[in-house]
Structure 1
Amino acid sequence: MSVLEFLIEPMRLDFMVRATATTLVASVVCATLSCWLVLIGWSLMGDAVSHAVLPGVVLAYIVGAPFALGAVIFGFAAVALIGIVRGTSRIKEDAAIGVVFTTLFALGLVLISVTPSQVDLNHIIFGNLLGVSRADLTQVVVLGAVVLAVLVFKRRDFTLYAFDATHAHAIGLNPRLLGATLLGLLALTAVVALQAVGVVLVVALLITPGATAYLLTDRFQRMLLIAPATAVFAGLVGIYVSYYADTASGPMIVLANGVIFTLVYLLSPRHGLVTAWIQKKTHAKSAGN
């Protein structure tokens, strides 16, 4: 089989085309947002919101409302509950996040178990990339376009907020509004990624690409290019490997992202573990001579 045949064969199937398109959109949107999440230090918050949207998605399905509406409502509810628990008790933020998101995630699991459905709602948890319909793809593209448009339009404000919220406030920006906007975008992005990898693995797409880019560059503008590029590459690798190896697509995409991060973690020119060890040995030899 030639390289061209290898690349074309999966795309002869309509469901693979839709799966690939969904993967590309989810990868770009999640990776772009992940740059700010990593920079602000919101990895745990990303985990919390991505899991906390589950009951919102299930309730939206029950009443026939858009999934995005339920996700945004419960995403903000989770953030509000975390703030209340942290502000009215001795519990620290990380513990408050853990309590709130696990409780809401469990509520979502309970709702799934008692909700009669013609579709398998467990796909919300584990993803159903190969079962993406045209309507699902349309929703992913629309939500993804909205998130990307806001991120691009407000990128300077978000970046200033990430680096120095105090300075952002001093020049007339509203840090609370910017933070709330990012959290709303996080909830929408979780819905986009649900179609690809499910609730359980959404956090990987929301954190890993940004963390990978952070090890490769010290400039934020470059992070915004590197993160989506690595996520798209990992998504395509995951799709093709899952097709030819007959494995689950969502986990394979996440695994590909993890492998890329591991390679960068070890071999990054400036921050790689192996690179630093080699440089240390080289300097030691030079000093000895």
Structure 2
Amino acid sequence: MELCSFLTLDSFITDPLTHEFMRKALLMSSLVAAVCGFLSSYLTLKGWALMGDAVSHSVMPGVVVAYALGLPFSLGAFIFGVGSVALIGFIKQKSRVKEDTVIGLVFTGFFALGIVLVSKIKSNIDLHSILFGSPLGISLSDVKQTIFICLLVVILLSIFRKDLMLYCFDPRHAKTVGINVFFLHYLLLTCLSLAAVVGLQSVGIILVVAMLITPGATAYLLTDKFDNMTVISVLSAIISSLIGIYVSFWFDLETGGSIVLAQTFIFLFAFLFAPRYGIFKLKKLFAGYK
């Protein structure tokens, strides 16, 4: 769509809202962004960037297998996401190979399996939409499914918020005070798998890791308080999703890539101007956060 020279800010914002698919895309992408931003705070504190990458890539064969069996894509994606995590833990326990190496082996293997299955199983699966997402073409059933999964993840993270925060910050201390770290470990991985499933529709397999990592990394530069970090992470994720969708609509760009680029620019801004940890340390700009 061409951007007219006389386009005003008001029409830039309101004109896309006249289209039902845009309203649906903005709502769903904001919801997914909020959940990923919420979870991103825990992943950043835990240092699980690679784990998020592994789960997001490992769900691809699950999507293909689910299609072949006539099952919901989300079910197959979730099973393979959790399965990849279980396999990572098993190999790590049974071998001397370090965790980061195991993660790399498992997620590349699963991802390659997905590509092979797509090439061999006759289907109408759009590989491009799986890899890069398609929030503008989300169906009503996907909307209901996304809302349900997002609510489930938010409820789980909210119920175990304090225990998860302590586990991510210092798992040894959490275990010492009697917290079931084994349960929290797999609870967080389950939430990660669910977030990867809902992120498929908005940004796709390849870019969903950015949704899970970048908002938390941005917030981590702006504050030392975990509650503030969560709020900033969620807000930056939602704002970047809205910006990305509007930019992709007016300039005819890839939606998922536009969302992630918007997140990246927000991170770069924090990297340069964060009050305490930015290169230029503009403390007056964010005086409210310490």
Same fold (TM over 0.5): yes
Structure 1 window deviating more from structure 2 (36-45 vs 18-27): it is 18-27
Distance 2:148 2:67 in 1: 19
Query: Compared with structure 1, are the counterparts of its residues 157 and 68 closer, same or farther at alpha carbon in structure 2 (3 Å cutoff)?
Result: farther
Instruction: Give the deviation of 1:274 after TM superposition.
Output: 2.4
Asked if the contact 1:147/1:185 (under 8 Å) is kept, the reply is yes
Aligned with 1:47: secondary structure?
A: helix
Structure showing greater Rg: 1
- 1:112 lines up with 2:112 in the alignment: no
Aligned equivalent of 2:147: 141
Aligned equivalent of 2:17: 11
Q: Which amino acid in structure 2 is aligned with residue 82 of structure 1?
A: I
Aligned equivalent of 1:91: 97
Aligned equivalent of 2:60: 54
Deviations 1:257-276 (A, max 9, x none): 00000010011111001228
Q: Which amino acid in structure 2 is aligned with residue 6 of structure 1?
A: F
- Displaced runs of 4 or more, over 3 A: none
Instruction: Give the deviation of 1:173 after TM superposition.
Output: 1.9
Aligned with 2:123: secondary structure?
A: coil
CA RMSD for the aligned pairs? 1.4
Instruction: Give the deviation of 1:119 after TM superposition.
Output: 4.2
Distance 1:68 1:241 in 2: 28
Aligned equivalent of 2:82: 76
Match of 1:165 among 171, 174, 195: 171
Distance 1:159 1:67 in 2: 31
Calculate percent identity across the aligned residue pairs: 48
Tell me the TM-score normalized by structure 2: 0.91
Aligned with 2:141: secondary structure?
A: helix
Aligned equivalent of 2:285: none
- 1:192 lines up with 2:225 in the alignment: no
Q: Which runs of 5+ in 2 are unaligned?
A: 1-6, 283-290
Aligned equivalent of 1:23: 29
Asked if the contact 1:52/1:74 (under 8 Å) is kept, the reply is yes
Instruction: Give the deviation of 1:89 after TM superposition.
Output: 2.7
Q: Which amino acid in structure 2 is aligned with residue 60 of structure 1?
A: A
Give the structure with the higher percent helix: 1
Tell me the TM-score normalized by structure 1: 0.92
Asked if the contact 1:22/1:195 (under 8 Å) is kept, the reply is no
Q: Which amino acid in structure 1 is aligned with residue 242 of structure 2?
A: L
